[in-house]
Amino acid sequence: MGEPLRIGMVGAGKISGAYLDTLKRLDNVVLTAVTDLDPARAAAAAGRPPGAAVAGSLADLVARDDVDAVLNLTIPAAHAEVAAAALAAGKHVYGEKPLAATREEADAVLRAAEAAGRRVGCAPDTVLGTGTQTARRAVDDGLIGAPVAATAFMTTAGHEKWHPDPEFYYRPGGGPLLDMGPYYLSALVHLLGPVVRVAGAASRPRAERVIGSGPRAGTAFPVEVQTHVTGVLEHANGALATLVMSFDVHAARLPRIEVHGTGGSLSVPDPNGFDGPVELFGASGGWEALPVSAGYRRGGRGTGLADLADAVAGGRPHRASAELARHVLDVMLTLLDAAEQARTLPVASTCERPEPVRQE
């Protein structure tokens, strides 16, 4: 194996801890620099694992000779700006989802990457774990026959219940669809392929939310986005998926994802995690657990960055790609447009299904 890809991390907020836990056990990437608007947070992150430098600003970090790729963990509204700065400096980029807040910003990132000859990857990488990948192998191997339909449900009472600074979840670029939808839609693309048409409805039952934890508990803030979104997606292979993404459901017993075919049904674990049981209802007439047959084992946030590093070294496409993320963003924004216009709309973009992560 060659030298590890050297990583500069931008943003040391809550999600960074999960990435740092993964990065310290990977041998093909190494954290070399960190920057954050809060210097104390940057210093704390730079010590996990020890050895990374604290950069004073984004410009300082992307100018460093010991940074090959930028890990972008900023808020959604800043994703495109950080990616553009990194690409302009000749760095690869791997960022949290969504790829950008708008189609135009996402397209600008893709153009900049092509011009710079650099890679752009984007979360979620959870779909590269054993859960979604074992389910994908079952679909690809024909264990449920031809796919007919799928369901995908993410319901919660809202992130303000646990997040100490939740406002960005309720501003443009946030909401349940843009926040959590990438996990479910990326999984559906892995399972069924790209989406060609959508219909939907959306609502905003409350104009205000209240922070429920941390030093600002009890602080009210405005809601600027739709917080309950439901849709029907038509995939290029003809399968129809029903989607519900909500910050307005206090409790539910809905499955995370199910896929139904002409010969059986498949229960797929939560795509917000890397593993979990995959169950098949097939010829036996009952549900049975499938053995793990695909996916990165011991996956964690940052597995997609490791896959990108391997792809750079091996000259192959990386799986958590900007093209997939751009399509997922387009599906989500088109669904919101369809809900606002009360009509069915075509999805203008498409993408290839990423290569599966097989275990032989």
pLDDT at 220: 97
- Render pLDDT for 316-345 as a digit per residue (tens, 0 to 9): 999 999 999 999 999 999 999 999 999 999
Q: Which of 223, 136, 138, 230 is nearest to 181 (CA)?
A: 230
Question: What is the fold, at CATH topology level, of the domain defined by 5-122?
Answer: Rossmann fold (3.40.50)
Q: Give pLDDT, residue 1.
A: 55
pLDDT, position 359: 77
Least confident among 89-103, 121-135, 160-174: 160-174
- Asked if residues 227 and 297 have their Cβ atoms less than 8 Å apart, the reply is no
Supply the mean pLDDT for the chain. Answer: 96
The answer to whether the CB of 195 falls within 8 A of the CB of 326 is no
Cβ contact 34:64 at 8 Å: no
Query: For residues 85 and 97, is the Cβ–Cβ distance under 8 A?
Result: no
Range of weakest confidence among 173-182, 229-238, 310-319 = 173-182
State pLDDT tens for residues 170-226. 998 889 999 999 999 999 999 999 999 999 999 999 999 999 999 999 999 999 999
CA gap 89, 107 in Å, rounded: 18
Q: How far is the C-alpha of 113 from the C-alpha of 126, rounded, in Å? A: 24
Helix (H, G, I), strand (E, B) or coil at 338: helix
Given this model, what pLDDT does residue 7 score?
98
- With a cut of 90, say whether residue 49 has pLDDT above it: no
Q: Is the pLDDT of residue 20 over 60?
A: yes
Please report the pLDDT score of residue 2 as a whole number: 76
More confident residue, 359 or 67: 67
Is the backbone peptide bond immediately before 49 cis, with ω within 30 degrees of 0? yes
Pairing of strands 195-203, 228-235: antiparallel
Work out the average pLDDT over 36-55.
Answer: 92
Q: Does domain 126-295+326-346 have CATH number 3.40.50.720?
A: no
Q: Could you state, in order of their start, the residue ranges of all structural domains in the chain?
A: 5-122, 126-295+326-346
With a CB cutoff of 8 Å and minimum separation 6, the contacts of 285 are none
Q: What is the pLDDT of residues 124-161, one digit of tens each?
A: 999 999 999 999 999 999 999 999 999 999 999 999 99
